[in-house]
Amino acid sequence: MAAKLLASALRRQTLTPKPASAASHLVRTVSTAAAMAEPFDDADGVSMKGVKIYGRPLYLDMQATSPVDPRVVDAMLPYYLSRYGNPHSRTHMYGWESDSAVETARAQVADLIGASPKEIVFTSGATECNNISVKGVMHFYKDKKRHVITTQTEHKCVLDSCRHLQQEGYDVTYLPVKSDGLIDLDGLRAAIRPDTGLVSVMAVNNEIGVIQPMEEIGEICKEFKIPFHTDAAQALGKIPIDVDKWNVSLMSLSGHKVYGPKGVGALYMRRRPRIRVEPQMNGGGQERGIRSGTVPTPLVVGFGAACEIAKKEMEYDEKRVRELQDRMLKGIREKLDMVVVNGSEEKRYPGNLNLSFGYVEGESLLMGLKEVAVSSGSACTSASLEPSYVLRALGVDEDMAHTSIRFGIGRFTTEEEIDRAVQLTVQQVKKLRELSPLYEMVKEGIDIKSIQWSQH
CATH number for position 229: 3.40.640.10
Please identify, among 262, 284, 309, the residue that sits at the C-terminal boundary of a domain.
Answer: 309
The answer to whether position 242 is within a domain reads: yes
Average pLDDT of the chain is 89
Could you tell me which of 413, 373, 109, 345 has the C-alpha nearest to residue 209?
Answer: 345
- Whether residue 288 is found in the same domain as residue 321: no
Number of domains comprising the chain? 2
Question: Which of 88-97, 204-213, 238-247, 398-407 has the weakest average pLDDT?
Answer: 398-407
Sort strands 58-59 and 250-254 into parallel, antiparallel or unpaired: unpaired
Range 167-173 average pLDDT: 98
Residues 425 and 318 in one domain: yes
**Contact at 8 Å (CB) between 251 and 130?**
no
Tell me the CATH number at 395.
3.90.1150.10
| 235 and 324 assigned to the same domain | no
The answer to whether residues 257 and 318 belong to one domain is no
335 and 418 together in one domain: yes
Residue 322: is its pLDDT beyond 60? Answer: yes
Summarize the confidence of residues 319-337 as an average pLDDT.
98
How confident is residue 33, by pLDDT bands cut at 50, 70 and 90? very low
Q: Which domain holds residue 408?
A: 314-444
- In this predicted structure, the answer to whether residue 51 has a pLDDT above a threshold of 90 is no
Q: Has residue 346 got a pLDDT over 70?
A: yes
Q: Which of 129, 221, 307, 380 is catalytic?
A: 380
pLDDT recorded at residue 31: 33
Q: pLDDT at position 4, please? A: 52
Q: What are the beta bridge partners of residue 252?
A: 231, 267
Cα first-last separation, the chain? 69
Q: 308: pLDDT confidence band, cut at 50, 70 and 90?
A: very high
pLDDT of 307 > 50? The answer is yes
pLDDT at 1: 55
Q: Has residue 96 got a pLDDT over 80?
A: yes
- Residue 319 sits in the same domain as residue 219: no
Give the separation between CA 370 and CA 49, rounded to whole angstroms: 12
Lowest mean pLDDT among 21-25, 176-180, 232-236: 21-25
> What integer is the mean pLDDT of 9-16?
42
For residues 268 and 162, membership in a common domain is answered with yes
**Least confident window among 208-222, 418-432, 442-456:** 442-456
Judge whether 31 lies within some domain.
no
Residue 456 forms part of a structural domain: no
State residue 455's pLDDT score: 63
Q: Does residue 129 carry a catalytic annotation?
A: no
- Distance between CA atoms of residues 123 and 142, nearest Å: 24
What value does the mean pLDDT take over residues 8-35?
A: 40
Question: What does the pLDDT look like over 358-369, one tens digit per residue?
Answer: 999 888 898 899
Residue 67: what pLDDT? 98
| Structure confidence by residue, pLDDT tens digits, 113-137 | 999 999 999 999 999 999 999 999 9
Q: Roughly what angle, to the nearest 10 degrees, separates helices 297-335 and 415-434?
A: 50
Band of residue 435 on the pLDDT scale cut at 50, 70, 90: confident
- Shared-domain flag, residues 163 and 296: yes
Q: Do 161 and 191 fall within a single domain? A: yes
**Which of 309, 343, 378 is a domain's end point?**
309
- Statement to judge: residues 253 and 325 lie in one domain: no
pLDDT of residue 50: 72
Q: What is the pLDDT, as a whole number, of residue 44?
A: 67
Classify each residue of 99-111 as buried b or exposed e, where b means 16 or more C-beta atoms within 10 Å of its C-beta: bebbebbbbbbbb
Q: Which of 29-33, 49-53, 423-427 has the lowest mean pLDDT?
A: 29-33
What confidence tier does 48 reach under pLDDT thresholds 50, 70, 90?
confident
267 within some domain:
yes
In this structure, are 123 and 268 located in the same domain? yes
- Whether omega for the bond prior to residue 273 falls within 30 degrees of 0, making it cis, is yes
Please indicate, yes or no, whether residues 357 and 254 belong to a single structural domain of this protein: no
